Chain A
């Protein structure tokens, strides 16, 4: 059984060159940004002479290659560098923002599943009928809505008109955090739903039409019991990959959504850092996000392997 997970160390090994590539892309892309932090730090009184002096003090006039090696050297020691804007370790800033973005994503995922699973089941129970078409129409519309626009609409309806939720922010206590995160999470969930529903619906129809469900039916399993026992597990398998792939996309989406709702997560941190040209912080956030995507990719395959006894990724990839 555990044999089937032997692909994990290999995949981890394979991600080392990828992570290395990510550092190259991140570093050079960030340093291609026009302007430097000194410009942002010195307000309206900035003159070329003062900018040059501060750049020198910040070590920004060293050759790019040296700066990259320095960055890489620190990184190997687990040091993400020092924020130029705040003059504090970047890790401190990132560690503060990561839990917020992760809670937002997790919350969104839960909401997405709460919405998607029943809808997909309803649709799959009668393919081609009105309720199926209604659900499919919902997914198509959902897919076509820009996320930030959904956010604005939710603010308009649920915060401004209904006054049920705060307009934005993060609150102070743990309970407040979840309350404040509801609307942004719902926004992201709405973006996630269409793909999940489509996948779940298709695979459920597929499973319902397959031989073993027929067998189970003939053996007397029926209705909810049948659904729970056989269909859910098998239909969930492809959906796991879909969610895995989508989480990466969602991290990107949360960047925009955090701005709309003033959520102080990784997205806000990164956008502010871009405006301030706080190179180490942008690098760190991009790196953390990329690592997250890589890890989610591997985790997806682990979960996939765990729930589907037929899958053996190791043998296929090693072949």
Chain B
């Protein structure tokens, strides 16, 4: 399986084309990504300024109102403004998405790098563990783990970390295997540099870019996971506005008020679109020689 994934990730990279290195702002996809993600972050940060309503306070006299002048997207079954909850939802989903990537990124990258660099029994053990975890589909492990840990934000971080560190480990190990044979690395070692210094100074910065690019698509996957858990009722506890649980709540009224389940889904699509652009753009920027 190791080989299949490495091959797969290589195959995803586009063939080299004769495009000269350009400054980042000329990279359309990257700019589009920055704009979309930037806007979402701004919405998340300034949500209280953008809406006159509170996302949690209920108004049981004005439940399930149709979209109108006061409530542009209507109200939910507790009389809360749907648009407001959508804006505040960006806070939760973006934050959890970004934070969820951190632990697996660090743990996976470090383990993968060490395994690739030192090889031998350490490599063998780490890679067997990776194989074991890799044998479980993402959702199977995440769902069982969230049941084990109980619903809530910290469980989501832990469950996602436990599952997705393996991808980083694989990517970093692959990169390290190539990098450690490069002339300058060999030279540095021969020059008496310690393993730690070689790893930190010479190899790290050069091989991290692949993991970074992967992290962008991983955030998308994590946001999907958070939304899905929210939909299964295993996510962030109510009444915190979260897109997945908004879809769950809205699904009840799908025949009468279809927008309630549709709009939060579109918000997810927009977010992942922005992040995908960002990832693609970064990949162009960081690895021009492998540009698709």
Contact = CB atoms under 8 A, between A and B. Distances in A.
Interaction A to B: yes
Contact of B138 (A22, A249, A286): A249
A301 B4 CA distance: 7
A30 B145 CA distance: 9
A22 B265 contact: no
Given A144-B276, A256-B139, 17 more contacts: A25-B133, A140-B277, A141-B273, A144-B220, A144-B272, A146-B265, A149-B227, A152-B251, A153-B262, A202-B11, A252-B138, A255-B137, A255-B139, A293-B134, A293-B135, A300-B4, A304-B7
Contacts of B273: 140-141, 144
B255 A160 contact: yes
Given A146-B244, A146-B265, A202 B292 contact: yes
Interface of B: 1, 3-5, 7-8, 11-15, 128-129, 131-140, 143-145, 147-148, 150, 220, 224, 227-228, 231-232, 244, 247, 251, 254-255, 258, 261-262, 265, 268-273, 276-277, 292
A243 to B, nearest CB: 9
A248 interface: yes
A259 to B, nearest CB: 7
A245 B4 contact: yes
A269 to B, nearest CB: 12
A245 B269 contact: no
Given A21-B129, A244-B4, A252-B137, A199 B12 contact: yes
Nearest to B262: A153
A241 B15 contact: no
B135 A145 contact: no
B142 to A, nearest CB: 8
A271 B270 CA distance: 30
A205 B254 contact: no
Interface in A154-182: 155-156, 160
A297 B1 contact: yes
Pairs A-B, 6 closest by C-beta atoms: A252-B137, A144-B272, A238-B11, A252-B139, A21-B132, A297-B1
Nearest to B250: A152
B5 to A, nearest CB: 6
A251 B138 CA distance: 9
Contact of B143 (A140, A206, A255): A255
Contact of B137 (A19, A143, A259, A293): A293
Interface in A272-288: 274, 282, 286
A264 interface: no
A120 to B, nearest CB: 13
A304 B11 CA distance: 13
B228 A148 contact: yes
Nearest to B217: A143
18 contacts: A18-B132, A25-B133, A29-B148, A34-B148, A144-B271, A144-B272, A148-B231, A149-B227, A149-B265, A156-B258, A238-B11, A241-B4, A241-B5, A241-B11, A255-B137, A274-B143, A286-B140, A301-B3
Nearest to A285: B140
A293 B15 CA distance: 29
B5 A290 contact: no
A112 B262 CA distance: 24
Nearest to A253: B139
A146 B224 contact: yes
Contacts of B3: 301, 313, 316-317
B5 A245 contact: yes
A242 B143 contact: no
Given A29-B145, A145-B269, A205-B15, A248 B137 contact: yes
Given A146-B228, A148-B231, A255-B143, A21 B131 contact: yes
Contacts of B148: 29, 32-34
Contacts of A141: 269, 273
A69 B258 CA distance: 52
A301 B137 CA distance: 19
Contact of A238 (B8, B131, B136): B8
A33 B11 contact: no
A25 B5 contact: no
Nearest to B11: A238
Nearest to A274: B147
Contacts of A253: 137, 139
A300 B1 CA distance: 9
